[in-house]
Chains A and B, each alone.
Chain A
Amino acid sequence: MADLAANFAGIKSPNPFWVASGPPSNTAYQAHRAFEAGWGGVVWKTIGEPTRNTSSRYSSIDHGGVRMVGFNNIELISDRAPETNFREIAEVKKRWPDNAVIASLMVETRAQWHEFVQRAADGGADGIELNFGCPHGMCERGMGSAVGQNPEVTKTIVSWVKEAATIPVIVKLTPNITDITAAARAAKEGGADAISLINTINSITQVNLDNFVPEPFVGGLSSHGGYAGPAVRPIALNMVHSCASDLEINLPISGIGGIATWRDAAEFIALGSTTVQLCTAIMHYGFRIVDDLIDGLSGYLDAKGFASLGDLKGRALNSVRRWEDLDLNYQRLARIDYAKCIGCNLCYIACEDGAHQAIALVDSKLHGLGPGRIPGKPVPEIKETECVGCNLCSLVCPVLDCITMVSVENGLPPLTWADYQTRLAAGDATAFVPHP
C-alpha cells in the first residue's frame, strides 16, 4: 500500500485531499463530517468581517446530459461571526489532531490582518490561507482578487501577515490575471510559505432568454460570479504548471480547480502539486467522494510501483515546454482500426471541413466491414501524405481505440523552432517550404 501522507509546507495530513475553502467548509459540523468521511484537511470558509449574502447564489452549465460541468457562485466569504468560526476551528482541531485545518482569511487593514492571524493560530489552525482570489463582491471593496491582481499589494499584505504569523502562510491565487506567476512571485517576495491555485474564474454562465436576466437571479438582476467545476480544470492545470516550473517561485503548491476524481488529483500532483483541494465535486455529491479518491489514488500508486506521493509529484513537469522547444520534424499519423469502425464518418467530416482534408471516403470493400456498417456505404481512409497528425479525427471518434495516433519515422533529424531560427540566421538551413 502506497503512503498517501502529505507534508505541505510543514502542514501534515493523512492524505493529500483537502476540502477547499467554500460552502462545504462553512461549519464545524461539516468539518466533522468531512473528516469522518476520510478527508485529509479542511480549508475553512474564508473568515473576515461577516458579510451578508444574496438569494440566490449559484448557477451552472450542463453538457450532454451531465449536470454541473461548470459551476459559478456569487457567494461571499463567511457570513458567520469570526469568534464563532475560530471557536469551531479549535473544536474541530481538538477532535481531529492528525488532520489539517487551515484558516482562510480575508480582512483589510494591517491591524486586522495581525489580529486575525493571531486568532487563527490561537484556535489551533495548522496554517493560514490568504484569500486573494475571490472575483466577485469582495474585490469591489478592495479585497479578494483586487489584491491578487496587483502583485505589489499582494506582496505588502503577505508581509503584514508574516509579521504576525507563527504557522505556515498559504497564498491563494486568482486566475483572473494575465500572468499568474507574477502574483506567485509577489507572494514569495512577501514571505509566503506556499501557494494554492486557482481560485474561481470570472464568469456569466447563462442568460435567461425569457426575462434576459442571467442566473443566479437576484430580484431581477444578476452579477458575474466565480466559475469552477470540471470545466475549469485545464486552465488550473496550466497555471499550476506555470508556477511549479518557475524556479524563482519554488513554493509548495496546493492544486485547486475542477478536481472531481482521483485521476484529476493525480494529474495535479504530476504537474507539481503537493496537496489538492476540492469544492464543487463535494457540492455535487457530498464528502463521500473521498472514498474513491483515496482508494483510486492508492491503487494507482501501487499499480505504478510508487511508494509514496513523492514518487508521483512533478513527474509530468518536465514534459511541458515552450512551443519553440518542440521538434518540428516529429511526425504522427492517424490509423483506423477497421474491425472497430462503426461507420459514423465523423472523422471524415471533421477533417474535411474542420482541418486538413486528409481523410477520403472509399469503397468499404477495400477495408472490410466493421460492426454495423452497411455494405456499399463508403468508409473513411486516411490520406497519409496529407495527414498532418493533428489528432482531430481521433478526438471526434466515438469508439474507444478505433482511431489511434501513431508515431512514424521519417528519417529527419530533430529540429526545434529555436534551432531553426539560429541555423537560418547562420545560413545553415534552408527555409521551410510553405504548405501548398
Chain B
Amino acid sequence: MPLTPKLNAAQLEANFADIAPRYTAQQAAAESARCLFCFDAPCISACPTGIDVPSFIKKITTGNVIGAARTILTANILGASCARVCPTEVLCEGACVMLDRDNDPIKIGRLQRYATDYAQEKNVAIFRPAKTKTGKRIAIIGGGPAGLGCAAELAQLGHHAVVFERKPRAGGLNTYGIAYYKMRPAVSLEEVELVKSLGVEFRCGTEIGRDVSPAELERDFDAIFIGVGLGQSQRLDIPGEDLPEVVEAVDFIEKIHTDPLDQISLGARVAVIGCGNTAIDAASQARRLGADEVVITYRRGEVDMSAYAFEYDLAKRDGVTFLFHHAPVEVIGENGHVIGLRLVRTRFDSGGRLETIVGSEFVEPFEMIIKAVGQQEKRDWLAQNFPELELRANGGIARHPFSGRTNLPHIFAGGDCANGGREVVNAVGEGKKAARAIHEMFGLTSISGPVQPSRWGVQGGPFGAGLDAPIRVSELEADYEKLSPVSHPTPGTSALTSQNQE
C-alpha cells in the first residue's frame, strides 16, 4: 500500500511543538539563582567543549545575559543547538552537585538556551574580530558540527577557513537530522551565519573528490580538517530490504527537515529496526506524523539498548511500543510493496551470545520499515580521496584524541568520522581541539583553553577544564588517570592513538 501523509498542518504543528520551550525571564532568574557557582565545577569538566557553566549562569543572575551568551559561544560556537540537543542528563546536568544535594540538578541546557536565544534576538555582536590575520588557509571538509567548531575556532585565531559542504546547506545533522520537536533547522542555519560572520568562507554543494580534488586542497591550503561524518546505514542483509517502503532513519528524518510536514508520507503501521537514539527519534516522529502504530524491534533486551533512558521514556510517552529480543528475518512484500516483517525471537545462550530461537518466527503486518541500525564509516570515500590516511579497524579515521592529528602531517580529523558517532557537542569539541592543534602546528603560541582552572590543573589545553571529558559522567573517574597531566604525553610528541577514545 503506498504511503500517505496522515495529519493536517495544524495537528502537525501541535505534535511537533518544542518539547522544552524557552524559559521566561522569571524562570531563568529563578533557576539561575539556584546555581551554587561552584569552583572547579564538575559541569565544566563534563562538557566536551568546556563551557564555563557557573560563570554564564552567574551572569544570568546579574542580568548580564549578553555576557552569558558570550561565555557560552566563545567556548562552543554551536551553544544554541547544543542547548537543545545535548543529552545534558548524562553531561553537565548529570555532573551537577545539586543532583547530589537535592536530587535536582540545575537545568543548564534550558538556561543555555535562554542566554543564546536572548543574544540571537537582540542581535548583539558577540565576537570581536581576530586582532591579527595569519594568512594561513585551512580547508574544512564537511560543514557539520565538527567542521563548524574547527572553522569558528580557526577564524577567532586569525586564520582563513574555507568549509566545503556536499549538501546545499551547512550544519550537517544539526540542519538535517535532529528530531523536529527538539530543534528546528533555522537554529542550525543561524549558527552557520554566526560562523560566517567570523569570516569563514562556505562552499556548499561542493563535494571533495567530485567537484574539487584532494590534490587541489593540498596545493591551495596549509592544513586540512576532515569532519565528514558517517555514511550510509548498515545493511540488514535480509530479503525484501530493497522494497520502496524500507527507508533509512537518517533519510526519513532528513525529509522531515526538507519537506513540509503535511507532505511527508508514511504507513499506518511502522516498524523501526534498532534501538539507539536515532531509532527513538525516527519512531517518535513517525508517531507524531500520525502513524497509528509504531513498533521498535530490537535483537537484544531492554537493558542492552544504546538509547538514553530519557529518550526511551519519551518514545513510550509518544505511544511507541517495543519488541525486545526480536530480530528481523525478512521484509514481506506484495505487488512490490511492504506488507509485513517476519521476525524471530532471540535469547542469550549460556555463553552470553545472542541466538535465535528455532521455530519462533512470525509475521507482523507493517506498511513501512525504518532501519536505524547505525551508520557506516565513509571508508570508501576516505580510501579514494586520502589513500595514505590511516584508518582504524572499523573504518574510522585514526587520530590523536586530544589534537585530531592523523598520520598525515597537515591533515586533522574530528567528529563522527573519527569518533565513530557521538554527540553534536563531542564533534564541536573535537573540531575546536583540532583548530588549536593546527594553530600550534603553524608555530603559533598555544592557546589557553579553559576560563576556570579545573582539578586537572590551572593551565589551558587538553589538561584544562573539560576539553576531554568523556561523554558519560560515570566515566570521569575511570578516565582521570588517562587525563592527568602526569601520565599523559604532551600533545604533538606522542604516538598516534590508533584506537577510539572509548
Contacts and interface: CB of A to CB of B under 8 A. Distances in A.
A296 B452 contact: no
Contacts, number: 40
Contacts of A286: 39
B474 interface: no
Given A299-B67, A399-B26, A292 B39 contact: no
A261 B62 contact: yes
A296 B39 contact: no
A285 interface: yes
B37 interface: yes
Interface in A285-303: 285-286, 288-289, 291-292, 295-296, 299-300
B26 A292 contact: no
A263 interface: yes
A263 B37 contact: no
A292 B24 CA distance: 22
Given A286-B39, A399-B26, A292 B66 contact: no
Nearest to A264: B62
State which size class the interface on B falls in: 10 to 19
A39 interface: no
B452 to A, nearest CB: 7
B62 A292 contact: yes
B58 interface: yes
B26 A296 contact: no
B63 to A, nearest CB: 6
Interface string A391-405: 000000001100000
Interface in B1-34: 24-26, 29, 33
Contact of A295 (B24, B33, B37, B59): B59
Contact of A285 (B24, B37, B67, B451): B37
Nearest to B451: A291
Nearest to A400: B26
A132 interface: no
Contacts of A262: 62, 64
B88 interface: no
Given A285-B37, A400-B25, A400-B26, A291 B66 contact: no
A292 B63 contact: no
For B58, B59, B62, which residue has the most chain A Cβ atoms within 10 angstroms? Answer: B62
Interface in B35-92: 37, 39, 55, 58-59, 61-64, 66-67, 70
A288 B39 contact: yes
Contacts of A299: 64, 66-67
Contacts of A261: 61-62
B451 to A, nearest CB: 8
A296 B70 CA distance: 11
A261 B33 CA distance: 13
Contact of B55 (A291, A300, A399, A400): A291
26 contacts: A66-B33, A262-B64, A263-B62, A286-B39, A288-B39, A289-B58, A292-B59, A292-B62, A292-B64, A292-B67, A295-B59, A295-B64, A295-B67, A296-B59, A296-B62, A296-B64, A296-B67, A299-B64, A299-B66, A299-B67, A300-B64, A399-B26, A400-B24, A400-B25, A400-B26, A400-B29
Nearest 10 A/B pairs, CB to CB: A296-B64, A400-B26, A295-B67, A261-B62, A292-B59, A296-B62, A285-B37, A292-B58, A299-B66, A299-B67
Given A263-B63, A295-B59, A296-B67, 10 more contacts: A285-B39, A288-B55, A288-B452, A292-B62, A295-B70, A296-B59, A299-B66, A299-B67, A399-B26, A400-B24
